[in-house]
Structure 1
Amino acid sequence: MGKVCNHGNNFIYYDIFSTNSGDFNHFPDDPEFADIIQKAEQAIENGVFPERISQGSSGSYFVKDPKGKIIGVFKPKSEEPYGHLNPKWTKYFHKLCCPCCFGRGCLLPNQGYLSEAAASLVDTKLGLGVVPKTKVVYLASETFHYSAIDRAKSRGKKYALEKVPKVGRRFHRVGLPPKVGSFQLFVEGYREADYWLRRFEAEPLPENIRKQLQSQFERLVVLDYVIRNTDRGNDNWLIKYEKPGEGAEDDEHKVRSKSIAAIDNGLAFPFKHPDEWRAYPFHWAWLPQAKVAFSQETRDLVLSRLSDMNFVQDLCEDLYEMFKTDKGFDKAMFERQMSVMRGQVLNLTQALKDGKSPIQLVQMPRVVVERSRSGGQGRVVTLGNAFTQTFHCKRPFFSSW
């Protein structure tokens, strides 16, 4: 973000330039996403600021375009549930007064923004299409939660520019430093899955629509299992559904307009399986849809990719390129995260081959697949010369299986 120096105006100018979020946001391979981020930056410049979302345990924001339309959800790293600038004081109180129950012991702290973007990457690589596009971006806004020092610096910069008008005209986006975080495209017309699932119990769907919902549900299962999502309830995945007479376009297929959106993926990619107080289960495992064997459509979509070790290795490398950008990146811990993910992929591949259901999948023994080395806990099976498969038998104290 630039160095803070007090040796002349040149250093002040450099610091001002470095707080321009546009200097960081480059998406040459995705011009559509780049255009959306540009609109978000233009809106902030014009005083249309992101609006903090009241729900949740972190500082997250609805981001708007210059006309005030919501176009995305931004979750800054520094305002994550246990981030040092989290505006939700209850989490800070939790950390201060109850450290023994603080956080999820299987996750690396303050990497939620990377988990959000990584879930989108996995979704894209597997062709699932259930995660709204999410990438790491930098944004600055007066409505974000900043420290008193940052706000004082911002006032100082504005005062300096008032004294040097020419510089002010050149560096028009000044003030508060950009925050790094995840930016997820906003999806319209969706409601929490729990709402629709209850409706579907009372008003059963036509068979063809039920099959479509089942197919979409299985994609959610594949995503959550591969990334080992530790925070999937029926309130943080969404369904879009239109009944006859509620906006569907043609008479013959009025009930067909439906899809799933998997949001809130910030608590995934653990570096070990949950083995302490809580199991962090997948709540979709209690749904009737979880008792149905994976469809041929789902197997055709992902099995050939997941069973290809080259594909899995490419996926790990893509995730490495993303995760290494974090200031606290630790290569050894990242490799542990990938060991868990490879184990999940291995189990899922076997379940798809064996015609199992999602409920049977989550009941399989937990596995990690790490680069070959001696030692380790559990039963070890060597997979060629590159990787070692380890079965873990320890169960969480609060386990649902």
Structure 2
Amino acid sequence: MELDLIFSSGTLGDVVPFGAIAIALLFTVRNHSGTSTGTSTSNLVYTDPIFFLQVCAGIIRQIAQPTSKVDSKENLTTPLLPEEPTHFIRIISERDAEHESFLSELMEGLKNYPPELCAEGTNGTYFLRDASGDVKAVFKPTDEEGDSPNNPKEHARDVDRGIRQGEAAIREVIAYRLDQRMDNIFRVPPTLLVNIAHPNFVDEQGKPKTKTGSLQYFVQSQGCASDIGPRSFPTEEVHRVAALDMMIYNTDRHDGNILYNREEGLTLTPIDHGFSLPEKFGAAWFDWMYYPQASTTFTPHLASKISSFDVHQFARDISQEFDVREECLMTMILSTMILQTGVEMGKTPKQLAQFLSRGRPHEMSPVEVMMSEVEDMDGDFMCNVREKLAHKLSGL
């Protein structure tokens, strides 16, 4: 009875399955005799319960000692779970799995080189390095955009572009997706949507926080367009940037976010597309409209690519993969329609840019005037847009 009480009390029964061990030990000790005191050990087992417990405890301590072997049963019932790594980069979209090896390089770099805040721009932007310390990517977290309290930069409130806080990163990805659909004719650097964890990324309480944002391959260049002026740029290169900006209705194209490279002739690389796809027409801005190349019609090759692009299918595909507001996708559809119609009518990039942008900040642009007229019309919306558009563009 005393033994039953001891085993069921939890003082020893929580350590091992004691009932089974006790029975086995009882038979083991019973067959072992001790002569140090002239008294049989087996007799003590039956006459002295305390002695029996002492013997059991000694054997249990022997069993509990660590050995070089792994107990397979214990491994199955109490697995040792690996700790979450202190830093990682994970791709969100399965379509980007081909970039895993590139992310592995960045992972190695994060071990010794923390994300480095870029001094330029108004949002949180970070350089990521590889194991050699070379800058390889640019990361833009969604929670460090605009007026977010996590934005590490001091900035005045930006103009109302019709883009909400946290929406810029996905637009970086969409610009790349569009370029992929166009056979990379625009040279937008590969851009992915990722989750990144690093000890330097914490919340307001200082706890580790995983960041979601756009990750773009870093582009080696000799500088930006503002460094050398536009007159040396090939016409085709200017037209590429122009076509992309009008398709996504870019509200922030300036010559500081157009990179140039002279390695294989002079080429232009457009970056920074977070201020695209606004919810309405209005605040578009295109520095290239003042380049002399913008006053010539699109080259035949580029004109053919623009005309054959199915913007409706692209918008459907984007809506299935990412969370983008319908009105923002509609802006892209309408802006691309304007570009395609203008190309067919032989309009220049400058003429179309003037139609899409405001001459003065507080004056409605021609496209805004057109859309207000369409809204007052009865009938099918898209048919009315096409009718008005053909009329408006013919007068340019």
Both structures adopt the same fold (TM-score exceeding 0.5): yes
Q: Does 1:33 pair with 2:107?
A: no
Q: Which residue of 2 aligns with 1:382?
A: 380
The structural deviation recorded for 1:340 is 1.2
Cα pair 1:344 1:368 within 8 Å, conserved:
no
Q: Greater relative contact order (Cα 8 A, min sep 6): structure 1 or 2?
A: 1
Q: Which residue of 2 aligns with 1:192?
A: 224
Q: Does 1:133 pair with 2:190?
A: yes
Provide, for residues 64-117 of structure 1, a one-character-per-residue CA deviation record: whole Å limited to 9, x for no partner: 1122111110011111132230001x23xx35xxxxxx5424222221101111
Identify the match of residue 217 of structure 1 among 224, 235, 238: 238
Cα pair 2:137 2:218 within 8 Å, conserved:
yes
The structural deviation recorded for 1:388 is 6.2
Identify the match of residue 347 of structure 1 among 307, 325, 338: 338
In structure 1, what is the Cα distance between the partners aligned to 2:382 and 2:92?
A: 40
Unaligned runs of 5+ in 2: 1-79, 356-365, 390-395
The alignment's C-alpha RMSD in Å is 3.2
Q: Which residue of 2 aligns with 1:266?
A: 274
Amino acid at match of 2:133: G
Instruction: Name the CA shift for 1:103/1:27 in 2 (closer, same or farther; >3 Å).
Output: same
Instruction: Name the CA shift for 1:367/1:348 in 2 (closer, same or farther; >3 Å).
Output: farther
Amino acid at match of 1:356: K
Provide, for residues 210-263 of structure 1, a one-character-per-residue CA deviation record: whole Å limited to 9, x for no partner: 6xx211211111110011110001111111125xxxxxxxxxxxxx52221111
Cα pair 2:251 2:276 within 8 Å, conserved:
yes
Cα pair 2:173 2:193 within 8 Å, conserved:
yes
In structure 1, what is the Cα distance between the partners aligned to 2:82 and 2:159?
A: 35
Instruction: Name the CA shift for 1:347/1:54 in 2 (closer, same or farther; >3 Å).
Output: same
Identify the match of residue 146 of structure 2 among 78, 81, 96: 81
Q: Which residue of 2 aligns with 1:231?
A: 252
Instruction: Name the CA shift for 1:19/1:338 in 2 (closer, same or farther; >3 Å).
Output: farther
TM-score by length of 1: 0.67
Q: Does 1:182 pair with 2:214?
A: yes
Cα pair 1:64 1:71 within 8 Å, conserved:
yes
- Which range moves more in the overlay, 13-22 or 188-197? 13-22
In structure 2, what is the Cα distance between the partners aligned to 1:197 and 1:381?
A: 48
Larger radius of gyration: 2
Q: Does 1:286 pair with 2:284?
A: no
Provide, for residues 112-158 of structure 1, a one-character-per-residue CA deviation record: whole Å limited to 9, x for no partner: 101111111111112323211111111122344x3341x2x3xxxxx
Amino acid at match of 1:36: F
Amino acid at match of 1:226: M
Q: Which residue of 1 aligns with 2:328?
A: 337
The structural deviation recorded for 1:35 is 1.2
Equivalent runs, 1:354-373 vs 2, <5 Å: 354-364=345-355, 365-366=366-367
Cα pair 1:369 1:389 within 8 Å, conserved:
no
Cα pair 1:347 1:367 within 8 Å, conserved:
no
Instruction: Name the CA shift for 1:388/1:352 in 2 (closer, same or farther; >3 Å).
Output: closer
Q: Which residue of 1 aligns with 2:174?
A: 118
Provide, for residues 32-83 of structure 1, a one-character-per-residue CA deviation record: whole Å limited to 9, x for no partner: 4221112212322x22212111111111111111221111100111111322
In structure 2, what is the Cα distance between the partners aligned to 1:84 and 1:378?
A: 41
Instruction: Name the CA shift for 1:359/1:384 in 2 (closer, same or farther; >3 Å).
Output: closer
In structure 2, what is the Cα distance between the partners aligned to 1:237 and 1:66?
A: 28
Q: Which residue of 2 aligns with 1:162?
A: none
In structure 2, what is the Cα distance between the partners aligned to 1:185 and 1:288?
A: 30
Q: Does 1:295 pair with 2:303?
A: no
User: 3-state DSSP class of the match of 1:356?
Assistant: coil
Instruction: Name the CA shift for 1:337/1:16 in 2 (closer, same or farther; >3 Å).
Output: farther
User: 3-state DSSP class of the match of 1:106?
Assistant: coil
User: 3-state DSSP class of the match of 2:229?
Assistant: helix
In structure 2, what is the Cα distance between the partners aligned to 1:238 and 1:344?
A: 24
Cα pair 2:248 2:336 within 8 Å, conserved:
no
Cα pair 2:171 2:274 within 8 Å, conserved:
yes
- Which range moves more in the overlay, 263-272 or 32-41? 32-41
The structural deviation recorded for 1:283 is 1.4
In structure 1, what is the Cα distance between the partners aligned to 2:149 and 2:210?
A: 16
The structural deviation recorded for 1:314 is 1.9
Cα pair 1:292 1:358 within 8 Å, conserved:
yes
Provide, for residues 295-325 of structure 1, a one-character-per-residue CA deviation record: whole Å limited to 9, x for no partner: 11211222122xxxxx32221122213432x
Unaligned runs of 5+ in 1: 1-12, 96-101, 154-175, 243-255, 306-310, 393-400
Q: Which residue of 2 aligns with 1:315?
A: 314
Instruction: Name the CA shift for 1:148/1:83 in 2 (closer, same or farther; >3 Å).
Output: closer
Cα pair 2:161 2:251 within 8 Å, conserved:
no
Amino acid at match of 2:226: D
